[in-house]
Amino acid sequence: MRRWMRPFSALVATLLVLAVGIGWTAAAVEGPFPLIYHYEQRGEVEVITSLAAYLFSIDEAELRSVYLYYETWGAAGGELMPGTTTSLVQVDPDAIGDSVPILKEDRPILRRLMALRLSFPLNSFIAQREFAPGASYPFAFDGQDAPFTLSRAEIREDGIAVIEFSGAVAGVNVVKRFLIEDTPYYTVDVEIETTNPGTEDVELRMSGAGSTPGDRGPTLVYLFDGVRSEIARERATYARFEGLGLVSKGTVLFLASDGSAGLAPFVTPTTDVSARFGVTWAAAPGTQTQSFKLYGGRRRFLLMEAAGLEEVDDPGTMARLIVPVVRFLNLLYRTTGNFGWAIILFTILTRVLLYPLMRKQYHSMARMQKLQPKLKKIQERYRDDRQLQQQKLMEMYKREGVNPLGGCLPMLVQLPLLVLLWRAIFYSSEQMHLSPGFLWLADLSVRDPYYILVILTTAVMLIQQRMMTPMSADAGGSSKLMGYIFPLFMAVFFASFPAGLWLYYFLTTVLQVGQQAIVNWEIARSDTGAAAVGEPIGDAEEEQGEEADDQREAGDGQG
């Protein structure tokens, strides 16, 4: 046991040195989000959060772009607004200064190393947008009297960005107020304040977006009385209209209303294949305010639940299995205040719970290894009689108290758990992105910038393979070689996985090595005790049985 504990202890010491040298818990990245950019020449204003960029046209006071620039492995960014095409363009940050937001920075270390280039410049990217002619965008009104004006664009003391436009529609004074906060929930609070100076109601029609029905495009979804529907219902068939929007496989752009009386959806065909949808209501004399919430982000049940839109989502079986794991991971996060510690606690708890099964697996592997000579001997002796061979093998397994399939059950139990946690970390990427950092990792949802966890995990996996070699001594040289190549394969091809996944896998492997060292010590101690006692009775009985079989075979031959 001491032989294997030395490298194991060295790895733990390395992690502690890193923790002390870098600081055990890195402070949260104090980003200035949200940010506001006013482009006077273009007549646009943009709000940047940690996850997305929102671009407004001032003249129409409409939202023309919701670009998800935050991305991690398995969750690419992209433009959500139909009619808008957004691409990232590489720029020189010194040339543009602070006039345009840099949405992405990347230092492609691996590609540079593979090209034998020793300099690692930071590549910077900005968003470049193109708008389709005649496209319909959210919050534009029919019958606008004149261009809107930007009356307010500031960051409040509570950290919320407020963008406010003033204008008039069909003689009604309209104020559009957007409140954007830097949260992981992809939501924008919207207030539409109307002041009708007349004595009669004025019908207002506010656009949602454009829709192109089809198998590949997003689905137009409505919410009536808390029930999702893909068909617009007549006004008399529901009590509350609670929103409408576009839902695709991976993203959602949904305008939720507060359910006020008088709100109703509308859909107007624009061409043979597309339509414009939105919300209509009557602006009564005086001043009223309609409240909305725009969800523009990834289709994830817990995020939509936090926005009050869980009914819009219809999670599949896999997502339903992931949700409890994510809830538990979030509980650990709220308890510890850090996702790094949450992953550590989750790993320790799962390894403790699975230790009895793991111990049984390793003991079963060791006993099966000891039986290999006997197994081969029986196979050789009864190679011409397969039925008798199986009978003898089962007798041997029963006599030795070994289940040949006993080592499979723990693996079958662990695999679903590994897959669920793997998906849960992806599912929690937004929360991790906005949470405090851990060790040298400012963000556990993206790759380790220095690949430290990748290197440490690979080293531990190689040690684990070395420890398992005695249990698989009968394996061929190619099998053993693959056991050492597999960790290197993982390090190269999965290095860009989120650091949170590598942290979990590193801790899991370290705990497995420690537990396996304990099991190896138990096995070695058991073997020492057996050797001191002498040959087991079972072996003597087996030899007597084999002698009796030989005598019967000899008698049958003489007869």
Whether the pLDDT of residue 69 is over 60: the answer is yes
Q: Are 190 and 307 in contact (CB under 8 A)?
A: no
- Whether 481 is in a domain gets the answer yes
Q: Given the DSSP bridges, would you call strands 62-68 and 52-57 parallel, antiparallel or unpaired?
A: antiparallel
Whether the pLDDT of residue 66 is over 90: the answer is yes
201 shares its domain with 98? yes
Domain C-terminal end among 266, 299, 332 = 299
Whether the pLDDT of residue 64 is over 90: the answer is yes
Position 31 scores a pLDDT of 55
Position 106 scores a pLDDT of 75
Mean pLDDT within 342-369 = 77
Helix (H) or strand (E) holding 251: strand 251-257
Least confident of 13-27, 185-199, 218-232, 442-456: 13-27
Mean pLDDT within 395-410 = 62
pLDDT above 70 covers a percentage of the chain that reads: 73
Whether the pLDDT of residue 323 is over 70: the answer is yes
Of residues 418 and 43, more confidence is placed in 43
Q: How far is CA 180 from CA 17, 70, 252, 296, 382, in A?
A: 41, 16, 17, 12, 77
14 shares its domain with 68? no
Position 542 scores a pLDDT of 52
Position 43 scores a pLDDT of 93
Cα angle: 220, vertex 295, 240; to 5 degrees: 65
Least confident of 234-238, 331-335, 546-550: 546-550
CATH number at residue 272: 2.70.98
What gap in Å lies between CA 164 and CA 191, rounded to an integer? 9
Residues 164-180: pLDDT tens digits?
A: 999 999 999 999 999 99
Cα angle: 389, vertex 394, 398; to 5 degrees: 150
Q: Are 86 and 127 in contact (CB under 8 A)?
A: yes
Give 78's DSSP letter: E
Whether the pLDDT of residue 186 is over 80: the answer is yes
Position 21 scores a pLDDT of 40
Domain C-terminal end among 236, 267, 299 = 299
Position 224 scores a pLDDT of 92
Residues 479-494: pLDDT tens digits?
A: 555 656 777 777 777 7
Whether the pLDDT of residue 278 is over 50: the answer is yes
Mean pLDDT within 328-341 = 90
The winner for highest mean pLDDT among 4-13, 34-43, 498-507 is: 34-43
Number of domains in the chain: 2
Mean pLDDT within 431-454 = 85
Q: How many helices (H) and strands (E) does the chain have?
A: 14, 20
Position 475 scores a pLDDT of 47
pLDDT band at 469 (very low <50, low <70, confident <90, very high): low
Q: Are 436 and 27 in contact (CB under 8 A)?
A: yes
Whether the pLDDT of residue 30 is over 50: the answer is no
What gap in Å lies between CA 151 and CA 144, rounded to an integer? 17
Mean pLDDT within 304-326 = 83
Query: 397-436 in b/e burial notation, b at 16+ Cβ within 10 A?
Result: bebbebeeebbeebeeebeeeeebbbbbbbbbbbbbbbbb
What gap in Å lies between CA 484 and CA 465, rounded to an integer? 7
Residues 6+ apart with CB under 8 A from 117: none
372 shares its domain with 239? no
501 shares its domain with 466? yes
98 shares its domain with 179? yes
Range of the domain at 403: 2-25+321-538
382 shares its domain with 525? yes
What gap in Å lies between CA 176 and CA 162, rounded to an integer? 10
- Whether 285 is in a domain gets the answer yes
pTM of the model: 0.79
- Whether 316 is in a domain gets the answer no
285 shares its domain with 433? no
**Closest among 147, 63, 68 to 104, alpha carbons compared:** 68
pLDDT band at 46 (very low <50, low <70, confident <90, very high): very high
Position 473 scores a pLDDT of 44
Mapped onto helix, strand or coil, the DSSP state of residue 279 is strand
Least confident of 41-45, 72-76, 102-106, 500-504: 72-76
- Whether 547 is in a domain gets the answer no
- Whether 120 is in a domain gets the answer yes
215 shares its domain with 340? no
440 shares its domain with 499? yes
Mean pLDDT within 425-442 = 86
Average pLDDT, the chain: 78
68 shares its domain with 150? yes
Of residues 529 and 108, more confidence is placed in 108
pLDDT band at 4 (very low <50, low <70, confident <90, very high): very low
Mean pLDDT within 517-521 = 73
Q: Are 72 and 445 in contact (CB under 8 A)?
A: yes
14 shares its domain with 40? no
Rg (CA), the chain: 33
Residues 6+ apart with CB under 8 A from 59: 43, 147, 148
φ/ψ (deg, to 5) at 21: -70, -35
pLDDT above 90 covers a percentage of the chain that reads: 29
377 shares its domain with 466? yes
Mean pLDDT within 116-141 = 81
Burial label for 188, CB within 10 Å (0-12, 13-18, 19+), is buried
Position 19 scores a pLDDT of 45
Q: Where are the beta strands (DSSP E) in 100-201?
A: 104-106, 123-131, 149-155, 161-169, 172-180, 187-196
Amino acid at 87: S
Of residues 211 and 26, more confidence is placed in 211
- Whether 550 is in a domain gets the answer no
Q: How far is CA 384 from CA 222, 357, 388, 393, 395, in A?
A: 71, 37, 9, 14, 18
- Whether 309 is in a domain gets the answer no
Position 18 scores a pLDDT of 46
Mean pLDDT within 430-450 = 85
Position 365 scores a pLDDT of 67
Whether the pLDDT of residue 369 is over 70: the answer is no
Least confident of 33-37, 162-166, 441-445: 441-445
Position 122 scores a pLDDT of 75
Residues 521-549: pLDDT tens digits?
A: 766 676 665 555 444 444 545 555 555 55
- Whether 559 is in a domain gets the answer no
